Structure 1
């Protein structure tokens, strides 16, 4: 089964690296797929670097940009969101990215039954045209936090089907958020990307886990990344496993290449 594992790096593994250094890190690890972000200060995309420059830097290092992470509050559709979506979709197309990650509202609003389903369908209907016209896939990422307006992959999958969006949209299976949501179904056939990170702090309860707890996957992992990956593969998933740790402990590693190589080897040895 290990031969099916294809790893990717989200720029969140080393957010302090400039794009050229990040792509070089991928090359040194033998990783050919990356996720770039639009929320890293002093870095592409926020610093205004043209898409063509980033595309060329990636190509020089033998890397392909699989996604931009992310259109935030995607399920709160308004004129501002539409403008953001168009700008990011244009950038994704021009940088050669295959997809744009779509992150839901995560502040406790928009959670009411009926309201949240309606909001998702409204947004997906609009995004289907914006993304489809540019040849960019939308990756819907439910978040497991109790305050999130879209926690359930089942609800997301139903909304995608209802708007006729199967040609444009897929789900993100994030191992951290899947564990927090407590939803047993994994939808491997609807999954377009998997985000992996671990939590090994024994003192934090599941309901209190937050992004800063998210480290590289190791033997102390409490999220059962190995079990989740095994289940996804058994269900037919053959796509990317993208490292997305948010812990400052990971961001400040002196040798991220060695730490990532160790985590990759750990996962390969157990899946």
Structure 2
């Protein structure tokens, strides 16, 4: 395989990289790493993005600093469509627009129970996307659909997500979120760089884990001991034309509890750049 230039990498910080920071402090953290894009979250306790004034303050500071707010993460479970989800989606769309975000991340149901393929499941997925299209488009927002690769996930594969997007003529509103952890967990091979709006990267190093047993808490930063094939996935995506952001999203408390997690991110960026040169 040809080796893509590390210059093609555009790193971003998902708030999960350091959830002890406030949203405004996350912007400072990004600037300290010379990173020009962040993702905010609604699921990290006190530092979640939760109200409009907070979102407007983020928008103003991000604009002044030249930092792009990529997304608010996430509407969950987006594919279980009901009155509660409608209200949640409308609120998150308002917040995402107010903070200047490009997109709302959409995560499917993953509650530990096996979800078997069915016509009704596919129908509900299309129903949810159709309704979300009508909520997101007036705000100028996209939806980033993130298949979760866990064996019990209700939407595990990217091809399934794309089929539903195409079925509702949603190609202008929805793109895939390619998560290197979930791609490996699902055992997927095919990539869709032209239909991917965002990548999430994280590593798993524990040699005792089977790929189907990996959990979010096992996700660390990408380093030399990574077992997920992050470098190979990045190579393949970049060679195939992906030019979107590449956002760090570790869920492990071993990362959060580091004395200097931002320096660890810096080291991970250096490792990835060096590995792509080899």
Given the two structures, how large is their TM-score scaled by the length of structure 1? 0.97
Residues in 1 aligned to 2:143 and 2:24: alpha-carbon distance in whole angstroms: 26
Partner of 1:256: 261
Partner of 2:228: 223
Deviation at 1:111, TM superposition (A): 3.4
Partner of 1:55: 59
Deviations 1:51-79 (A, max 9, x none): 21121232344321110000000000011
Contact 1:39 1:46 in 2 (8 A): no
Q: 1:173 aligns with which of 159, 169, 178?
A: 178
SS at match of 1:34: strand
Q: CA separation of 1:93/1:61 partners in 2, compared to 1, >3 Å: closer, same or farther? A: same
Deviation at 1:20, TM superposition (A): 2.4
Residues in 1 aligned to 2:212 and 2:158: alpha-carbon distance in whole angstroms: 18
Structure 1 stretch displaced more, 109-118 or 82-91: 109-118
Whether 1:42 aligns to 2:46 is: yes
Residues in 1 aligned to 2:118 and 2:247: alpha-carbon distance in whole angstroms: 32
Q: How does 1:1-271 map to 2 (within 5 A)?
A: 1-46=5-50, 50-107=54-111, 108=113, 110-271=115-276
Deviation at 1:198, TM superposition (A): 0.2
SS at match of 1:166: coil
Residues in 2 aligned to 1:172 and 1:14: alpha-carbon distance in whole angstroms: 21
Residues in 2 aligned to 1:41 and 1:111: alpha-carbon distance in whole angstroms: 32
Residues in 1 aligned to 2:116 and 2:64: alpha-carbon distance in whole angstroms: 44
RMSD: 1.3
Residues in 2 aligned to 1:110 and 1:237: alpha-carbon distance in whole angstroms: 31
Q: Which runs of 5+ in 2 are unaligned?
A: none
Residues in 2 aligned to 1:212 and 1:163: alpha-carbon distance in whole angstroms: 35
Residues in 1 aligned to 2:131 and 2:267: alpha-carbon distance in whole angstroms: 42
Q: Which runs of 5+ in 1 are unaligned?
A: none
The number of aligned residues is 271
Residues in 1 aligned to 2:132 and 2:225: alpha-carbon distance in whole angstroms: 39
Deviations 1:104-153 (A, max 9, x none): 00022653322321121010010111111110000000000011000010
SS at match of 1:73: coil
Deviation at 1:44, TM superposition (A): 3.4
